[in-house]
């Protein structure tokens, strides 16, 4: 039996919350949850676990490749929780690349794109600020103990808690990380639209967020090391903006480290936006159009994995 919950604020005072304003609030909170748990797990791995004596040393993390699984599963759960929080109000895009892709191919109103984007970035910034507030002692202790180049007293490793950067084997080039972001986000959006497509084998019983979380984990395991698998402009830009204000300076904007990379800040924005559109177009071309054509023909399709009965015309 459903229990009626009295509104915290009288509806007459905030009638606009039933429309776009409420959707933006949901996008803000959903993205806030995403970043709080996502960057939170990285803060645990990079600074808190070493600093609390739970690793071999105060600056020791990622001793083996398997340690990366802590990050991938942490981000997966962050996505799951963010979608469950906001999904019933805004659809839980919590990612500007998803919003753009849905505007291009899912009739999402273009007038809502910019407000959604702003809400997502602000939610991401707030989530990063919360994590820094909780973990700033661990982060500062880690940076003090860490050797090597520092920017404003901070290290690249502590910056990685909040935002992304390219792997050293790209030697400062832009095309490798840019392609990586396009590919990773194309997979993300292609799989998201497949999971929620009721014409296809859509996930039921409200398990869509869980499976989307598995998608994010898979992308992190398969493509994460190249450039930190931002695959979400707000996920990178919001925390990057916070780190710039908090003292990471050039590491955040313009996204530069002498001898390693320079002017990187735009790649986790442009790459995912392009990749998201590619992902939805690829799905629609190879799968969506086929499903639409079958529906137009009124075909009764067999259960997935079974073949259609052969008609006399086809024999």
The two structure tokens encoding residue 106: 């899912």
Taking CA atoms, 263 is separated from 168, 174, 176, 238, 270, in Å, by 15, 9, 14, 17, 13
Ramachandran class of 23: left when φ > 0, alpha when ψ lies in -120 to 50, beta otherwise: alpha
Please tell me the total count of domains within the chain. Answer: 1
- Domain span at 154: 16-295
What CATH number is attached to the domain comprising 152? 1.20.1080.10
Residue 301: inside a domain:
no
Residue-level pLDDT at 15: 67
Residue 90: inside a domain:
yes
- Is the pLDDT confidence value at 81 over 70? yes
Beta bridge partners of 261: 257
Residue 300: inside a domain:
no
Quick: pLDDT tens for 220-248. Answer: 999 999 999 999 999 999 999 999 999 99
* Residues present in the chain in total: 315
Q: Residue 61: which pLDDT band, with cuts at 50, 70 and 90?
A: confident
CB-based burial label for 176 (10 Å; 0-12, 13-18, 19+): middle
Entry pTM: 0.92
Residue 4: inside a domain:
no
Quick: pLDDT tens for 85-127. Answer: 999 999 999 999 999 999 999 999 999 999 999 999 999 999 9
- Of all residues in the chain, the percent with pLDDT exceeding 70 is 92
Q: What is the mean pLDDT of the chain?
A: 92
Residue 126: inside a domain:
yes
Residue-level pLDDT at 4: 83
Phi, psi of 179, rounded to the nearest 5 degrees? -65, -40
Quick: pLDDT tens for 167-182. Answer: 999 999 999 999 999 9
Residue 5: inside a domain:
no
Residue 25: inside a domain:
yes
Residue 11: inside a domain:
no
Listed ranges 60-74, 215-229, 285-299; the one with the highest mean pLDDT:
215-229
């Amino acid at each position: 039996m459903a229990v009626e919950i009295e509104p915290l604020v009288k509806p007459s005072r905030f009638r606009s919350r039933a429309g776009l304003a409420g959707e933006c609030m949901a996008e803000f909170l959903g993205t806030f949850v995403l970043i709080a748990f996502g960057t939170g797990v990285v803060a645990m791995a990079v600074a808190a676990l070493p600093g609390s004596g739970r690793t071999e040393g105060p600056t020791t993390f990622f001793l083996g490749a398997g340690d990366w699984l802590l990050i991938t599963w942490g981000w997966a759960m962050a996505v799951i929780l963010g979608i469950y929080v906001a999904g019933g109000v805004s659809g839980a895009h919590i990612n500007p690349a998803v919003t753009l892709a849905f505007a291009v191919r899912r009739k999402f109103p273009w007038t809502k794109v910019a407000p959604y984007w702003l809400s997502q970035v602000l939610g991401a910034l707030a989530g990063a600020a919360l994590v820094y507030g909780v973990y700033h002692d661990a982060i500062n202790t880690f940076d003090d103990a860490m050797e090597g180049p520092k920017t404003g007293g901070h290290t690249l490793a502590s910056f990685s808690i909040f935002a992304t950067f390219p792997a050293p084997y790209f030697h400062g080039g832009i095309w490798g990380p840019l392609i990586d972001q396009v590919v990773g986000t194309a997979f993300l959006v292609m799989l998201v639209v497949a999971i929620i497509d009721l014409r296809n084998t859509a996930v039921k019983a409200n398990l869509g967020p869980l499976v989307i979380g598995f998608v994010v984990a898979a992308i992190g395991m398969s493509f994460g090391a190249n450039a930190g698998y931002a695959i979400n402009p707000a996920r990178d830009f919001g925390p990057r903006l916070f780190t710039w204000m908090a003292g990471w300076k050039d590491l955040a904007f313009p996204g530069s480290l002498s001898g390693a990379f320079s002017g990187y800040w735009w790649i986790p924005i442009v790459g995912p936006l392009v990749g998201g559109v590619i992902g939805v177009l690829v799905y629609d071309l190879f799968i969506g159009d086929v499903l639409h054509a079958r529906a137009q023909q009124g075909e009764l399709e067999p259960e997935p994995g079974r073949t259609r009965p052969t008609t006399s015309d086809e024999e």
